[in-house]
């Protein structure tokens, strides 16, 4: 992977000047490469990784395993795209194993998520079953531990 | 009846120990430790935590009750893993049964090697600036330190010519540490070949301290021990502290021809008995596909090095581009301050700790050591503060008359 992309994956907010210094490139080179990745859709977006539980805002995340009947034309893709269009779906994956699709659904409360499943998801033609589990606590997300890491003491000067 | 104390306590200390200077690093540490909110670039250890799989292996070993002595040489499983690693990474073959000893850090390995080889009065050559313990180790072994000064002009590289100039007939040992603490300098194959020829002509044993070997930014690790004819006259020293981020585990090793390992083992068995068992168990896990942890750390160090290098460039501080390790050694002499004055003033005015360069040898004077084993955000802030400091203390340019 391009070292620029590796850096951006963990330091999305780094300034172009600093990225250029770290990679020994000129700022213009970095700007051009980022623009190219954005144009080609390799960089799909930038986001902050939040510890949302500490915000104490009501939010429910459900993990839903979905079984579907694949279609002769297009396999799982057409039905998966149809499911993904719902804004409640934050992530969706095609899986090996018992279920076909794994969805992460977000909603303001249990009721809203349950209604989405029963009134939208389950009724989509081709969906044969859903298994819904609710997320209770986040320990790690996108490579970040959610609890504050322990402070380790290092000597301030050592040989 | 009280004993008549005829001599004071300081007088009771052996003369050669009394004569050892206190480490300049320790002096400086005492000052820094009294201050708050300091960003330290003075730290000679990785800021990364030990990879979790290694720590987890240590926990499991503790649960299993791996709390007893091991053989003096260390666990055979670990010595096998070490010898396989050295063969894979450096291309040198050692027999795990008789040519490898596990030590308490590479520091102990260096001490054992010096004590095993040096008769009173024997000369030991080593390049400066260098790690702070080489000269004291030689003195503690009643040897004669023969420092070989390297300078910024030659990129702090050790050359055959420098060695010839500072050689002495009683020289028996040469210590080599590249990539180098404190300069980040590294050597290429042709230079190593010249040094090997010098060692053969002078009949020297070379202690090849490869502790930063894997943290090299512009090529594969290379050791003098891998050169033709050198395996027989090298003691290969290495450890887990730097590339594996395991400083607190205190684990190192030495590989050498069996009679030399046997000699080192004699000292080790009477002084240390064996290296800590839990650390040995953890090290076995560390050597299981080590690159998977080392490579990301190396890339992060490289990014930080580039950032700091550019920052020093913009400040107008001359610096040799480090090719390995995680230190940068900028020249600050043109500001009219000594290394120590620079470091003290920088600490007082900007709360950034760097290490005065002269603690690593006389040719380190006029330089300071900046470790970039520091989180990127701290490094950026430290660079900003050093920039402000340098701008404030830059000599005033006078218009030509």
CATH of the domain at B25: 3.90.1150.10
pLDDT exceeds 90 at position B1? no
Q: Lowest-confidence range among A127-141, B4-18, B367-381?
A: B4-18
Whether residues B87 and B219 share a domain: the answer is: yes
Task: Specify whether B209 is located in the same domain as B71.
Answer: yes
Nearest to B45, CA basis, from B242, B244, B224, B296: B242
Instruction: Say yes or no: B306 contacts chain A, CB-CB below 8 A.
Output: yes
Q: Is the pLDDT of residue B401 over 50?
A: no
Closest-CA residue in chain A for B182? A159
Domain that holds residue B353: 10-49+292-391
pLDDT band at residue A56, thresholds of 50, 70 and 90?
Answer: confident
Q: Are B179 and B144 in contact (CB under 8 A)?
A: no
B32: closest chain A residue by CA: A156
* B38 CA to centre of own chain: 24
Residues of B in contact with A23 (CB under 8 A): 303, 306
For residues B223 and B302, membership in a common domain is answered with: no
Q: Does B206 touch chain A (CB under 8 A)?
A: no
Residue B3 inside a domain? The answer is no
| Domain-embedded: residue B171 | yes
H-run or E-run covering A5:
helix A3-10
Query: Residues B63-91: what's their mean pLDDT?
Result: 97
pLDDT at residue B23, rounded to an integer:
82
**Residues of chain B above pLDDT 90, percent:** 91
Is B399 inside a domain boundary?
no
Smallest Cα distance from A8 to chain B, Å: 12
Predicted confidence (pLDDT) at residue B183 exceeds the cutoff of 50:
yes
| Cα distances (Å, whole numbers) of residue B118 to B5, B114, B194, B343 | 35, 6, 24, 36
| Interface touch B43/A156, C-beta < 8 Å | yes
Q: Are residues B234 and B131 in the same domain?
A: yes
Q: Does B392 touch chain A (CB under 8 A)?
A: no
DSSP A75: B
- Residues from chain A that touch B25, judged by Cβ atoms under 8 A, are 157-159
Contact B32 A156 (CB under 8 A): yes
> In chain B, whose CA is at the least distance from the CA of A24?
B306
Handedness of CA B90, B249, B45, B124 (dihedral sign): negative
Domain endpoint, select from B261, B290, B319: B290
Q: B376-393 and B291-315 are packed helices; what angle lies between their axes, rounded to 10 degrees?
A: 20
- Domain end call among B240, B261, B290: B290
Cis amide prior to B220 (ω within 30 degrees): no
Asked if the Cβ–Cβ distance from A157 to B38 is below 8 Å, we say: no
User: What is the number of domains present in chain B?
Assistant: 2
Radius of gyration of chain A (CA): 21
pLDDT above 70: residue B5:
no
Residues B277, B297: one domain?
A: no
Give contacts of A153 with chain B, Cβ < 8 Å: none
Share of chain B above pLDDT 70, in %: 97
Nearest CA in chain B to A152: B49
Residue B329 inside a domain? The answer is yes
Point out the least confidently predicted range of A66-75, B190-199, B326-335: A66-75
The model carries a pTM of 0.88
Is there a single domain that holds both residue B72 and residue B41?
no
Nearest to A22 among B23, B181, B307 (CB): B307
- Candidate from A3, A11, A157 with C-beta closest to B28: A157
Q: What are the tokens at B264?
A: 């080192």
Q: Are residues B344 and B313 in the same domain?
A: yes
Given CB atoms, is A9 within the 8 Å cutoff of chain B? no
Nearest to B29 among A7, A22, A155 (CB): A155
Strand ranges inside B78-189, DSSP E: 100-103, 123-128, 144-149, 171-176
B5 in any annotated domain: no
On whether the CB atoms of residues B90 and B221 are closer than 8 A, the answer is yes
Whether residue B70 lies inside any domain: the answer is yes
Band of the pLDDT at B274, cuts 50, 70, 90?
A: very high
Using pLDDT thresholds of 50, 70 and 90, give the confidence band for residue B194. very high
Looking at the structure, tell me whether residues B80 and B28 fall in a common domain. no
Q: How far apart are the first and last CA of chain B?
A: 81
Residue B170: pLDDT band with limits 50, 70, 90: very high
Is the domain of B166 the same as that of B250?
yes
- Considering chain B, what is the average pLDDT of its residues? 95
* CB atoms B25 and A18 under 8 Å: no
How many other CB atoms are found less than 10 A from the CB of residue B286?
Answer: 27
Is B352 a domain residue? yes
Residues B179 and B99 in one domain: yes
- From the candidates A151, A157, A158, which should be mutated to test the interface with B, based on the most B CB atoms within 10 A? A157
**Two structure tokens written together for B146:** 């023969």
Domain A57-136 in CATH 3.30.70.920? yes
Is the CB of residue B365 less than 8 Å away from at least one CB of chain A? no
Do B19 and B77 sit in the same domain of this protein? no
Helix (H, G, I), strand (E, B) or coil at A92: strand
Q: At B213, is the pLDDT very low, low, confident or very high (cuts 50, 70, 90)?
A: very high
Evaluate whether B305 touches B372 at the Cβ level (below 8 Å). yes
| B positions 19-48 inside 8 Å of A (CB) | 23, 25, 28-29, 32-33, 38, 40, 42-45, 47
Q: Which member of B42, B304, B307 has the closest CB to residue A156?
A: B42
- Cβ contact, residue pair A156, B40, below 8 Å: yes
Q: How many residues does the structure list for chain B?
A: 401
ipTM for the complex? 0.73
The reply to whether B331 and B381 lie within a common domain is yes
| pLDDT mean over B112-130 | 98
Confidence grade of residue A72 (pLDDT, cut at 50, 70, 90): confident
- The answer as to whether B101 is a domain residue is yes
Q: Does pLDDT of A5 surpass 50?
A: yes
- Asked which of B290, B322, B345 is the last residue of a domain, the reply is B290
Closest CA to B378 of A154, A143, A141, A30: A154
Is pLDDT larger for residue B40 or for residue A147? B40
Measured in whole angstroms, how far is the alpha carbon of residue A42 from the centre of its chain?
15
């Amino acid at each position: 992977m391009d070292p620029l992309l590796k850096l951006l994956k963990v330091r999305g907010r780094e300034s172009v000047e600093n990225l250029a210094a770290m990679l020994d490139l000129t700022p213009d080179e970095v700007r051009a490469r980022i623009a190219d990745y954005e144009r080609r859709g390799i960089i799909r977006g930038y986001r902050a990784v939040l510890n949302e539980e500490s915000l104490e805002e009501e939010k429910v995340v459900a993990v839903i395993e979905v079984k579907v009947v694949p279609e002769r034309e297009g396999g799982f893709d057409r039905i998966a795209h149809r499911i993904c269009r719902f804004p409640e779906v934050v992530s969706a994956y095609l899986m090996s194993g018992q279920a076909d699709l794994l969805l992460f659904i977000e909603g303001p409360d249990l009721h809203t998520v349950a209604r989405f499943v029963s009134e939208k998801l389950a009724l989509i033609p081709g969906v044969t079953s859903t298994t819904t589990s609710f997320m209770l606590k986040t320990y790690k997300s996108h490579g970040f531990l959610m609890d504050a890491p322990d402070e380790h003491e290092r000597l301030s000067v050592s040989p | 009846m009280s004993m008549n104390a005829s001599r004071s306590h300081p007088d009771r200390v052996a003369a050669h120990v009394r004569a050892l200077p206190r480490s300049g690093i320790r002096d400086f540490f005492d000052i820094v430790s009294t201050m708050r909110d300091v960003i330290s670039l003075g730290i000679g250890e990785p800021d990364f935590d030990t990879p979790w799989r290694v720590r987890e292996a240590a926990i499991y070993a503790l649960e299993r009750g791996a709390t007893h002595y091991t053989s003096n040489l260390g666990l055979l499983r670990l010595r096998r893993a070490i010898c396989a690693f050295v063969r894979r990474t450096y291309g040198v073959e050692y027999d795990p049964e008789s040519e490898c000893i596990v030590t308490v850090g590479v520091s102990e390995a260096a001490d054992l090697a010096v004590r095993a080889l040096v008769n009173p009065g024997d000369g030991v050559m080593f390049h400066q600036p260098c790690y702070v313990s080489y000269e004291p180790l030689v003195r503690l072994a009643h040897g004669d330190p023969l420092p070989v000064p390297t300078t910024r002009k030659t990129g702090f590289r050790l050359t055959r010519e420098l060695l010839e100039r500072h050689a002495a007939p009683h020289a028996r040992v040469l210590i080599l540490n590249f990539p180098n603490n404190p300069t980040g300098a590294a050597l290429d194959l042709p230079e190593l070949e010249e040094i090997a020829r010098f060692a053969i002509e002078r009949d020297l044993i070379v202690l090849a301290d490869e502790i930063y070997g894997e943290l090299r930014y512009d090529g594969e690790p290379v050791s003098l021990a891998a050169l033709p004819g050198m395996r027989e006259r090298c003691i290969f020293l290495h450890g887990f502290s730097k590339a594996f981020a395991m400083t607190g585990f205190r684990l190192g090793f030495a590989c050498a021809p069996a009679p030399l390992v046997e000699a080192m083992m004699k000292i080790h068995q009477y002084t240390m008995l064996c290296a800590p068992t839990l650390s040995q168990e953890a090290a076995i896990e560390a050597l299981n596909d080590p690159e998977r942890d080392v490579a990301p750390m190396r890339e992060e160090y490289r990014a930080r090095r580039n950032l700091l290098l550019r920052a020093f460039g913009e400040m107008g501080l001359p610096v040799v581009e480090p090719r390995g390790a995680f230190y940068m050694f900028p020249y600050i002499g043109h500001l009219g301050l000594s290394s120590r004055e620079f470091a003290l003033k920088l600490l007082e005015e900007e709360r950034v700790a760097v290490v005065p360069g002269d603690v690593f040898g006389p040719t380190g004077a006029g330089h300071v050591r900046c470790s970039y084993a520091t989180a990127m955000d701290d490094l950026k802030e430290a660079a900003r503060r050093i920039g402000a400091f340098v701008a404030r203390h830059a000599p005033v340019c006078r218009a030509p008359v």
